[in-house]
Amino acid sequence: MLDAPIQISIHDNWDGITAQTLFKDIWQTPKKQLHQWRMEKTVCKNEEIINWLEPLRSGDIITIKINHEQETNVQPNSIPCEILYEDEHLLIVNKPAGLLVHPNHDERNTLANSIAAYLQSKNDQRKVRHIHRLDQNTSGAILYAKHVLSHTILNKMLENRSIQRTYWALADGILTSNGQINKPIGRDRHHPTRRRVSKTGQAAITNYQVLECFPHDQLTFVQCSLATGRTHQIRVHMQALGHPLAGDLLYGGSPRFSRQALHARLLEFTHPFTLERIKVTAPFHDDPPIFDLTRYS
């Protein structure tokens, strides 16, 4: 399984361009990687060594003979793992609240351990890489790359903001209008893990939309989308707005819930190889259910 080739069918949009243009300009393959593949002749078109300057045609099959990097640092652990989307290029997983995304030392109770066990059950021991993270006590959809080329492309897409991430949250207090929070975020020198709004911090932009208000419970159901991806961004920005997330004790939220009421609800992007529009919604699994809105009034 580790030497399984990558296969990509040439889309109509790429008809007539050269392989060199596709790899270098459209997929933005790193020069070192592309040079290695060219020297080793590991890229084929329709089962023949590719001519990099020859025009591609719709329906051509590109094959990259690659030795996938084997996962050696993460021990498999059969923690339940909900797969929301999977193909040979990428993986989207619904992370439960309470799990770290990746072990810091020798932890075995992380999402990475769970995914390693899932892949092992399919006789696949390749190393997958997360494209973005979620805080330990935030739940929802996380995107992973399954090989080096998809990792490069998806990282670029995240940087270019062509991967839309939508979060649902319950904020303390009542917000009455939609808005944008544009405040830089930096480390809090008085606390090892906390972040804060800081003039010298990194640029951070969060757009928020009020979906529903619950005056009796003093809660507002908010949808947030990220134009940047700073650590704790939504949590810090909502605190700065004067409406910290319910359950988020680190940032002044009420102790209403056992964790911050934040869920990565939706991932949406154009698949880099099929050019299909991928739209994945992550269900909730809290018990008791934080996002069961019938609980509030």
pLDDT at 69 over 80: no
pLDDT on residue 3: 63
**Spans of all domains in the chain:** 6-64, 82-162+269-294, 165-264
Comparison of pLDDT for 68 and 20, the residue scoring more: 20
Distance CA 205, CA 234 (A): 9
Nearest of 103, 277, 248 to residue 167 by alpha carbon: 248
pLDDT on residue 97: 95
Assigned CATH topology for domain 82-162+269-294: Pseudouridine synthase (3.30.2350)
Distance CA 279, CA 276 (A): 9
Catalytic residue among 12, 135, 188, 287: 135
pLDDT at 1 over 60: no
pLDDT at 41 over 90: yes
By percentage, how much of the chain surpasses pLDDT 90?
81
**Model pLDDT for residues 136-157, shown as the tens digit of each residue:** 999 999 999 999 999 999 999 9
Superfamily of domain 6-64 in CATH is RNA-binding S4 domain (3.10.290.10)
Q: Do domains 82-162+269-294 and 165-264 have the same CATH topology?
A: yes
pLDDT at 2 over 70: no
pLDDT at 70 over 90: no
Which stretch of 2-11, 77-86, 188-197, 273-282 has the lowest confidence by average pLDDT?
2-11
pLDDT on residue 119: 92
Which stretch of 3-7, 183-187, 232-236, 276-280 has the lowest confidence by average pLDDT?
3-7
Spatial contact of 246 and 261, defined as CB atoms under 8 Å apart: yes
Q: Which pTM was predicted?
A: 0.92
Whether 135 is catalytic? yes
Cα–Cα distances in Å, from 294 out to 44, 53, 140, 221, 245?
56, 60, 20, 12, 19
Distance CA 126, CA 3 (A): 9
CATH code of 165-264, in short, is 3.30.2350.10
